[in-house]
Homo-oligomer: A and B are copies of this chain.
Amino acid sequence: MKLATSKKEQTRIKERSKKADAKQKNILEMLKSHGAKIYDDLDNGQFPKFSIPSRSVSNIVYDKKLRQYILGTNAAVRSSRNSAQLRSFTQLMWLAFFANRLTHEKKSSTLRDVYYSSQAFAIEFEDQSESDNIIVDLEAVTSKPREDFHIFPEERSSIFGDLTIEYTIPGYEGKTMNLSNHPDGYSIGPSLTTAELVDTSAEIVIAIEKGGLFTRFVEEQVDKKFKSIIINTGGQAPRSTRTLLKRLHEEMKLPVIVLTDGDVYGEHIAMVIKSGSANAAHLRELTVPDAKWVGVWATDIEKYKLPTIPMTESDIKRCYDLQKDPRYQDGIWKKELDVFLKLKRKAELEAFSKYGLTNITDKYLPQKLELAKSL
Contact = CB atoms under 8 A, between A and B. Distances in A.
Contacts of A39: none
A107 B191 contact: no
Interface in A167-182: 167, 169, 171-172, 175, 177, 181-182
A103 to B, nearest CB: 13
Given A181-B175, A191-B182, A210 B154 contact: yes
A315 interface: no
B187 A186 contact: yes
Contacts of A169: 183, 219
Interface string A90-130: 00000000000000000111101111110110000000000
A355 B108 contact: no
A119 B348 CA distance: 14
A234 interface: yes
A44 to B, nearest CB: 35
Given A216-B108, A219-B108, A354 B190 contact: no
Interface in A315-360: 348, 350-358
Nearest to A171: B221
A265 to B, nearest CB: 16
A354 B183 contact: no
Which interface residue of A169, A219, A356 has the most chain B CB atoms within 10 A? A219
A72 interface: no
Given A117-B357, A354-B117, A212 B112 contact: yes
B158 A187 contact: yes
Given A154-B210, A182-B177, A183-B172, A117 B216 contact: no
A189 B184 CA distance: 5
Contacts of A190: 183-184, 215, 219
Contacts of A234: 156
A107 B219 contact: yes
A156 B154 contact: no
A135 interface: no
Interface centre among A115, A154, A212, A307 (most CB of B within 10 A): A212
A152 interface: yes
A185 interface: yes
Contact of A116 (B112, B117, B354): B354
A189 B183 contact: yes
Given A1-B181, A107-B358, 18 more contacts: A108-B215, A108-B216, A108-B219, A109-B353, A112-B348, A112-B350, A113-B212, A113-B216, A113-B350, A117-B354, A119-B354, A120-B353, A156-B234, A169-B219, A175-B181, A186-B187, A187-B187, A189-B215
